[in-house]
């Protein structure tokens, strides 16, 4: 909306505008939004939204003070919830979780033999590609053929804002809280030739690995086209590749993917072009 010339105010209830992402990614996104001219206010609690006839009046509290904004339109996003009512599930004996999602095991099976569930209704990780992966695993289990178990923490997540955000696995804070001894490396897009050619040099690639075994624990990217860079990293995690192996893989020049290679070199203590 801002790019179409609309004055935009973004109110976020949580302390950061991208609360599920790594703290540095969220801070960078807020910085870029403010640089564009978006009025960003995190840690702001919306108290009321009123229809004024000509628009809307939003009342919110920030820093203990109540404030109001007069707006032409309000777009409210409050997250997802599993839809399990209206299908007669209560007549089947299918168990639900405390959050109202269909309870499944690693095979996608419910507690009722012959009843399986996938997608948002399971509340596992409400993303289209995760639901698709669940469907494949479910079908394979029903057919009795070889399959895998999904690691939901390691599923890729993409946010199609500008600049884009992409991530998987542990954030730096989560990895430390989980007791891992970690290596962290961050490579900015500013020195990346392709990003400079695109005129979109904001952002970075941040990688986290286990210091002892070299296992990839997470990746957090913000910048041009980063949602397209994520599969290399999730594949590396799936195939148990180390940062050295990612870094040794020759990346074409000029490409945005070189930032991934550089960050992997950084995990090995030998970042080349920074």
Catalytic annotation present for 2: no
Name which CATH class applies to 2-71: alpha beta
The count of other CB atoms within 10 Å of the CB of residue 239 is: 9
Quick one: pLDDT at residue 82?
93
153-267 has CATH 3.30.390.30 classification: yes
Which residues of 181-233 form beta strands (DSSP E)? 182-188, 204-210, 216-223
User: Two tokens at 58?
Assistant: 């939003």
pTM above 0.75, yes or no: yes
Q: Which residue has the tokens 């997250």?
A: 79
DSSP collapsed to 3 states, 124-139: CCCCHHHHHHHHHHHH
Q: For residues 239 and 242, what is the distance between their CA atoms, to the nearest angstrom?
A: 9
What pLDDT, on the 0 to 100 scale, is given for residue 78? 85
Averages of pLDDT over runs of 10 residues in the chain (274 residues) are 94 95 97 96 96 96 96 91 89 93 97 96 95 98 97 96 96 96 97 96 97 96 97 96 96 97 94 86
Annotated catalytic residue, options 2, 99, 220, 253:
253
pLDDT at 272: 86
**Checking DSSP bridges between strand 39-41 and strand 9-11, what pairing results, if any?**
parallel
> Domains of the chain: which residue ranges?
2-71, 89-143, 153-267
Strand spans (E) along 153-196:
157-159, 164-169, 182-188
Residue with tokens 């950061």: 16
Q: What pLDDT, on the 0 to 100 scale, is given for residue 271?
A: 87
């Amino acid at each position: 909306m801002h790019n179409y010339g609309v004055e935009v105010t973004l109110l976020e209830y949580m302390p950061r505008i991208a609360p599920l992402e790594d703290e540095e990614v969220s801070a960078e996104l807020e910085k870029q939004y403010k640089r564009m001219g978006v009025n960003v206010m995190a840690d702001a609690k919306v108290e009321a939204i009123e229809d004024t006839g000509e628009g809307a009046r939003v009342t919110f509290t920030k820093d203990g003070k109540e404030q109001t904004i007069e707006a032409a339109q309000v777009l409210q996003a409050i997250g997802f919830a599993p839809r399990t009512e209206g299908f007669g599930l209560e007549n089947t004996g299918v168990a639900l979780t405390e959050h109202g999602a269909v309870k499944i095991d690693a095979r996608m099976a419910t507690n009722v033999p012959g009843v399986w569930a996938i997608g948002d209704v399971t509340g596992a990780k409400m993303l289209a590609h995760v639901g698709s992966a669940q469907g494949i695993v479910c079908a394979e289990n029903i057919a009795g053929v070889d399959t895998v178990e999904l690691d939901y923490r390691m599923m890729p997540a993409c946010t199609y804002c500008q600049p884009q955000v992409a991530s998987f696995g542990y954030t730096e804070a989560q990895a430390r809280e989980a007791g891992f001894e970690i290596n962290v490396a961050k490579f900015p897009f500013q020195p990346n030739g392709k990003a400079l050619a695109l005129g979109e040099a904001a952002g970075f690639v941040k990688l986290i690995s286990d210091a002892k075994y070299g296992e990839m624990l997470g990746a957090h990217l913000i910048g041009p086209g980063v949602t397209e860079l994520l599969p290399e990293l999730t594949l590396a995690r799936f195939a148990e590749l180390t940062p050295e192996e990612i870094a040794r893989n020759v990346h074409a020049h000029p490409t945005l993917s070189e930032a991934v290679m550089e960050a992997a070199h950084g995990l090995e203590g030998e970042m080349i072009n920074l």
